[in-house]
Amino acid sequence: MLSKETNKGLTYADAGVDIDAGNKAVELMKDSVKATYRPEVLGDLGGFGGLFSLMNSNLKKPVLVSGTDGVGTKLRLAIMMGKHDTVGQDCVAMSINDVLVQGAEPLFFLDYIAVGKLDPIQVASIVKGVADACRESGCALLGGETAEMAGFYAKGDYDLAGFGVGIVDRDHVITGETIQSGDVLIGLPSTGVHSNGFSLVRKIVFERKEMALDQYVDELGMTIGECLLTPTRLYPKPCLPVIRKFDVKGMVHITGGGFYENIPRILPKGIGVEVDITAWPQLPIFGLLQQWGNVDKKEMYRTFNMGIGMIMVVAPEDADAVMQNLSARGEKAYVIGRAAASDVPVTLQGGAFDD
């Protein structure tokens, strides 16, 4: 005989998916999303697709540039700390910075959040971080998806990824193919570890050092959790004025793979770069991670950004003017190296690399 519980008609909520909570989350995030809209956005939040007009583009041969990425295991720290308002910027930065290096102005962004149990306040906090980063980057948060996946993610866990689109004139796409010996590398500082290398970070901090995220570290001037959760820097605002005014030959977003894997992606055959690692101040977190984990110097530079999140390559006759342009707008930048004829893509000099 079937029990009363067995006879009960099931609902989606019984299976772990709360449609009402989803609707509440949309209401909570609506103002943040609308605040990012550019004039090209058509329609309103809630459609099946986001609409964005290109009719106002004054480019002769417009090309759309797209990029997609996630935040990765940095999310584990946000979940452990119960702090969800910064990882949205990480999500935007990872895609939009990649679009930027092709010379593209960011147009719009879409996010994807997957949760085990939908908490409207938590999701709204994440989306507000996404929206704030979109506003700073000058792009619209055109839409997104929040998927409640009961039984797939543990309660409180979530994943976050996104997709960004930019636009550039075909004649001004930055490819790196014109880089030649003598060209100058200008580096823009990072805000910290950004969003790459966190599997190694977590192994060092939690397993090797057995640290708690709320442990204060004198060298950092904050807790280790606050330092590691510092969001990835957004580079459109400092870089777009340079791209529009000067012939930027190549750009590199220093993400997973550090210097050794990312710089070669833009170099023509027979051209390498020599990077002086003493040309910029090292952020304390990198020295601590190296010390705590006894990590080889080369491994550090092939895993982390080491304090430089974006590199622009320009002709030597443009280098001073580019540096002045950045400085006049309050942007820190460093001449960190030069291109040279070489079959070795990346040579690091200074410090331990001179031993």
Q: What is the pLDDT of residue 21?
A: 66
Structure tokens given for 58: 């004054």
Q: What is the pLDDT of residue 41?
A: 87
Q: What is the pLDDT of residue 79?
A: 96
Q: Same fold for the domain at 10-172 and the one at 184-354?
A: no
How many Cβ atoms from other residues are within 10 Å of residue 21's Cβ? 18
pTM for this predicted structure: 0.92
Low-confidence residues in the chain, pLDDT < 70 = 1-7, 10-26, 28-29, 354-355
Q: What is the pLDDT of residue 133?
A: 97
Q: Which fold would CATH assign to domain 10-172?
A: 60s Ribosomal Protein L30; Chain: A; (3.30.1330)
For 14, 155, 292, the CA distances from 150, given in Å and listed in that order, are 10, 8, 38
Q: What is the pLDDT of residue 10?
A: 59
Contact assessment for residue 353 and residue 279, using Cβ atoms and an 8 Å cutoff = no
Class of domain 184-354 (CATH, top level): alpha beta
Question: Which residue has 């004025």 as its token pair?
Answer: 241
Q: What is the pLDDT of residue 353?
A: 73
Continuous segment of H or E residues that includes residue 189: strand 184-189
For 23, 273, 338, the CA distances from 112, given in Å and listed in that order, are 16, 37, 39
The residues spanned by each domain of the chain are: 10-172, 184-354
Q: What is the pLDDT of residue 22?
A: 62
